[in-house]
Amino acid sequence: MPESGISIGHLLQAWGRILAGRQPNLSVELTKECPLTCPGCYAYGDEHLGGDITLRGLSDFKGDELVDRFKALVDAQNPLHLSIIGGEPLVRFRELDRILPWLSERGVHTQLVTSAVRPIPAHWAGLDRLQIVVSIDGLQPEHDERRKPATYERILKHIEGHAITVHCTVTRQQSRRDGYLEEFLRVWDANAATRLIWFSLYTPQKGEISMERLTKEDRARVIADLRVLRTSYPKLQVLDGMLNVYAAPPASPQECVFARTTHCVSSDFTTTVTPCQFGGNPDCLNCGCIASAGLEAIGRHRIKGVIPIGQVFSGSLAVGRVVARLAGRGTDATGVGPRTSSTPA
């Protein structure tokens, strides 16, 4: 599962939040800016925010205003787990330098997802509960082509002294080359700055026709490869239960534990991204999101071999909705309510 520090204690805390009508996970698009133009990037897709506005058209913040608004958002949501995504969060590295230590002291498990296009400040390596996830989409030739200017050369320099999680999103192009995933693992397993390696599978929007989209056969081959590779590469973090979810993802956002327990906010800190952080109309039956697979794997786990945890969560979500309504809060604990489109802050 995702290295989010999830333990029994964490689950019970999450459960408590759900019963109180709150979502325990928060995902924030820190900025609308990004120096990359990756093919298949969902954040800049026309439908990401529902079609009325795109991420580039939204407002975002800098300096004190960003720090203050971010803290207010976290105070209001009080999440157990926070993902800071983008855009490219490192374009706001000065503000993050004030935000990350504050989150660490507050006890929030924080995941910073970056392309490592610019140096990651050395002192962030010592922050408790911070996980730095670097997106590396394939071996150098393919990655550099897709993700320039965040090239291998830059990433290797910028991650020195850190203990990063390498995150690769597997596309059709990679899945069709024999031995590609193993070669990728060999390269990154040998890097001293790598602590963990994650693989997601490319998640398309419904009806999407693209070079990245995996066919059913591609998907089956990747899952089979990962089942074998996980025994040889200890830094590869993928549980059997997660591979089972990749093989049979949730049918819809209503059945997705991740979507139901995560509140996703875009760069104006007001617009919500629904039904999950992909936004738009994601093709759940072809979902390959590692966060969703991790939470879903927990959800399918059975308490004493009888009741799936997900079923208990669903009951709790229903209770949480009532609690939220009684408390007069606008958002409920499902995360799959009506889309709120852009409301400039």
249 binds ligand SF4, rule: CB under 6 A: yes
87 binds ligand SF4, rule: CB under 6 A: yes
Q: How far is the CB of 277 from ligand SF4 (least distance, A)?
A: 7
CA distance 145 to 143: 5
292 binds ligand SF4, rule: CB under 6 A: yes
By CB under 6 A, the residues from 251 to 270 that bind ligand SF4 are 253, 256, 258-259
CA distance 20 to 309: 18
CA distance 37 to 35: 7
Binding to ligand SF4 by CB under 6 A, coded x per residue (else -) over 196-225, reads -------x----------------------
Among residues 289, 290, 324, 333, which is the contact residue for ligand SF4, using CB under 6 A? Answer: 289
CA distance 159 to 192: 10
Q: Give the C-alpha distances (Å, rounded to integers) separating 200 from 120, 136, 227, 345.
A: 23, 11, 14, 33
34 binds ligand SF4, rule: CB under 6 A: yes
Among residues 115, 175, 200, 266, which is the contact residue for ligand SF4, using CB under 6 A? Answer: 115
Helix (H, G, I), strand (E, B) or coil at 9: helix
- Nearest CA to 252 out of 282, 219, 207 is that of 282
Cα-trace Rg, the chain: 19
Q: How far is the CB of 189 from ligand SF4 (least distance, A)?
A: 23
Binding span for ligand SF4 by CB under 6 A among 1-9, 98-106, 174-182, 279-287? 279-287
Q: How far is the CB of 285 from ligand SF4 (least distance, A)?
A: 8
Nearer to ligand SF4, 129 or 280 (CB): 280
Among residues 30, 43, 84, 197, which is the contact residue for ligand SF4, using CB under 6 A? Answer: 43
Nearer to ligand SF4, 4 or 115 (CB): 115
41 binds ligand SF4, rule: CB under 6 A: yes
The residues that touch ligand SF4, with contacts defined as CB under 6 A, are 34, 36-38, 41, 43-44, 86-88, 115, 203, 249-250, 253, 256, 258-259, 275-276, 278, 282, 284, 287, 289, 292
